[in-house]
Amino acid sequence: MTGKKILSLILLLSLGLLAFRPPTQPRLDTTPKLVIQWLTVVHGNGSAEIQNILKISQSMVQTLKTLPNFSESTLCNDAFQQFENSVVQFKQEQHGEDIWCTYTKNFDDLQALETQMTDDLGHLTIRRLEITGGTFYYDISWSTFPCATNDTSVLTCEWAVQMPGKVGANNATTVEGTTLTWDMSNAATPYHFTAQSATGGSDSTVWIVLGVMTCLCCLAIILIGGGIAAYLILRKRKAPAAAPAETGSTNPAGPASLP
């Protein structure tokens, strides 16, 4: 299934869930009722995955419990089956009091990820998506995004990236550990996301320097070892010869006296 179809599916489900929220019901908390997040996870070896996540708050779950035949334990797949006849399987997880419905697609390398994003997500321009010289570079822009809301306490949309290593320069809305998040609730606004992270790899120049340093260290060890050996040899040669061992008298013994 394409990313565009998954995107449309999540949006439709979100609108459907919001339709069951009584307009006069007081808010149980200040957390958004629904959060739609598109999370890209990039690994240090260049592989990646896209996770389409629908986060349903506990207050929304309480509202949905008023529906007939509602099952909290199978909420995600029960809801999405109404649209896709069980073609897509969403993983359901409990995060605190919230329920997350997640659909994941894996990619062997960043080129495959870029192709998927470019083909399936309209209005997207990928300026840079690569790991080089021990640094991951992320630079994409949107002209518009198909998710908007007039009330962010009810529905918000997020774009997130889990970086492969220590996070460097970025323009994310929030940063938590290695995860960067941009708020995309205003679909009419153009977006430009930039970020970098250190992957821990080294470029060819670093390896050359390390090789030279290793050779110098080996040469130093050889020179020091040779110097010590030469010193010991010279010391042995200069040592005075040992005195000969003392022997008995060379005079022959006289004849034994007779009585």
DSSP assignments along 137-149, one per residue: EEEEEES--S---
pLDDT higher than 50, residue 259: no
Q: Give the per-residue pLDDT at 142.
A: 83
3-state SS assignment for residue 234: helix
Q: How many CB atoms lie within 10 A of CB 52?
A: 20
Q: Give yes or no for a contact between 60 and 22, defined as CB atoms under 8 angstroms apart.
A: no
Of residues 107 and 29, more confidence is placed in 107
pTM of the full structure: 0.67
Residue closest to 195 by CA, chosen among 128, 122, 117, 114: 128
For residue 10, which phi and psi values (nearest 5 degrees)?
A: -65, -40
What single-letter DSSP state applies at residue 74?
G
pLDDT band, very low/low/confident/very high, at 83 (cuts 50, 70, 90): low
Tell me how far apart the alpha carbons of residues 53 and 102 are, in angstroms, rounded to a whole number.
4
Tell me how far apart the alpha carbons of residues 81 and 87 are, in angstroms, rounded to a whole number.
8
